[in-house]
């Protein structure tokens, strides 16, 4: 059996998943300690140990914020701040004899949807994009997640959005990453609200989509603009990896209105104008983190 852990700022959630289907057979959830790494490690090991008592475990996969520095093996960029600089994976590997692997939430989305979700019929590849508070991506090619030399594989939220001369609503927007006009500033849920507020009184994404459903002209124009931006982002990736399926997750992915609009515009930004890549809503919802983490160590194996 596979253990998958989804670690966030508020909770550490663990599941046992059968390697033969997508069903989580046991679940356990504990609060993420606010204090220090030693307490954190105790909680994580506590979740693993409790789950291990329920079944024989073949591997442990971790979905977590931040990444592992390739040179030092230590955590970096985690928003659980005391994790940064710690040899988290090394400490787990020292405690358990089964394979231990770690990746981020967007990669977990891609893995879980490829293995048993909206892209499960794909033989080789899929692209998963989170359009929520931020924008992240995960790429599966040849049945395995593309992590890359620096752990940046799939980080499409921080490519610059292709712009047109006609789009000059104020100065370029600087992202927290230091770059300008990152895709995330336009196609995340936060970006959707930000670009609306450049022209209108601020509203939440839900309010704008509700106005869209009512036929409000400003909202219609904005949702069309947003869908065009997302098609540019996806079209760029199609021209590089041409995945079998594109899966969208995160808050904005729940808005059904965007799917036909993005699908119609995708061909505007691909080399071939006959691209018909399916663009689908993620199926696993909040479970994608634990499921993707559980599958991570066995990605290349048939499930
Ligand atoms: Zn950025």
Instruction: Give 267-303 as a DSSP string.
Output: GGGSSSS-----EEE-SSGGGHHHHHHHHGGGTTS--
Task: Give the global pTM.
Answer: 0.91
- Can you tell me the distance from the alpha carbon of 272 to that of 254, in angstroms, rounded to the nearest whole number? 28
CA–centroid distance, residue 213 to ligand 1 (Å): 31
CA–centroid distance, residue 43 to ligand 1 (Å): 32
CA–centroid distance, residue 55 to ligand 1 (Å): 42
CA–centroid distance, residue 156 to ligand 1 (Å): 9
CA–centroid distance, residue 195 to ligand 1 (Å): 16
CA–centroid distance, residue 179 to ligand 1 (Å): 5
Query: Is-contact 133 249, C-beta < 8 A?
Result: no
Residue 119 tokens, joined: 């892209």
CA–centroid distance, residue 180 to ligand 1 (Å): 7
pLDDT 10s digit of each residue in the chain, 303 long?
Answer: 999 999 988 899 999 998 877 778 889 999 999 989 999 999 999 999 999 999 999 999 999 988 888 889 999 988 899 999 999 999 999 999 999 999 999 999 999 999 999 999 999 999 999 999 999 999 999 999 998 888 889 999 999 999 887 777 667 899 988 999 999 999 999 999 999 999 999 999 999 999 999 999 999 999 999 999 999 999 999 999 999 999 999 999 999 999 999 999 999 999 999 999 999 999 998 888 899 999 999 886 544
CA–centroid distance, residue 299 to ligand 1 (Å): 29
CA–centroid distance, residue 198 to ligand 1 (Å): 19
């Amino acid at each position: 059996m596979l253990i998958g852990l989804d670690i966030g700022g508020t909770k550490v959630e663990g599941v046992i998943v059968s390697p033969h289907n997508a069903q989580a057979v046991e679940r356990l959830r504990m609060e993420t300690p606010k204090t220090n790494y030693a307490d954190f490690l105790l909680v994580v090991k506590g979740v693993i140990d409790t789950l291990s008592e329920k079944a024989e475990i073949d591997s442990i996969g971790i979905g977590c914020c931040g990444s592992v520095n390739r040179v030092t093996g230590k955590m970096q960029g985690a928003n659980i701040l005391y994790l940064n600089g710690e040899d988290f994976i090394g400490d787990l590997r020292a405690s358990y004899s089964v394979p231990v692997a770690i990746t981020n939430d967007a990669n977990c989305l891609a893995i879980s949807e490829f293995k048993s979700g909206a892209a499960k019929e794909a033989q080789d590849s899929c692209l998963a994009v989170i359009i929520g508070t931020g924008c992240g991506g995960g790429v599966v090619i040849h049945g395995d997640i593309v992590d890359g030399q620096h752990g940046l594989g799939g980080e499409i939220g921080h490519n610059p959005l292709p712009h047109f001369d006609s789009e000059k609503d104020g100065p370029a927007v600087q992202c927290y990453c230091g770059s300008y006009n990152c895709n995330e500033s336009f196609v995340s849920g936060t970006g959707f609200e930000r670009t609306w507020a450049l022209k209108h009184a601020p509203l939440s994404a839900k309010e704008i989509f509700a106005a869209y459903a009512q036929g409000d002209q400003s909202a219609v124009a904005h949702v069309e603009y947003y869908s065009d931006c997302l098609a540019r982002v996806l079209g760029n990736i199609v021209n590089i990896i041409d995945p079998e399926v594109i899966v969208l997750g995160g808050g904005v992915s729940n808005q059904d209105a965007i799917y036909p609009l993005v699908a119609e515009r995708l061909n505007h930004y691909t080399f071939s104008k006959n691209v018909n890549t399916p663009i689908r809503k993620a199926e696993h919802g909040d479970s994608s983190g634990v499921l993707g983490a559980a599958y991570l160590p066995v990605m290349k194996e048939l499930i």
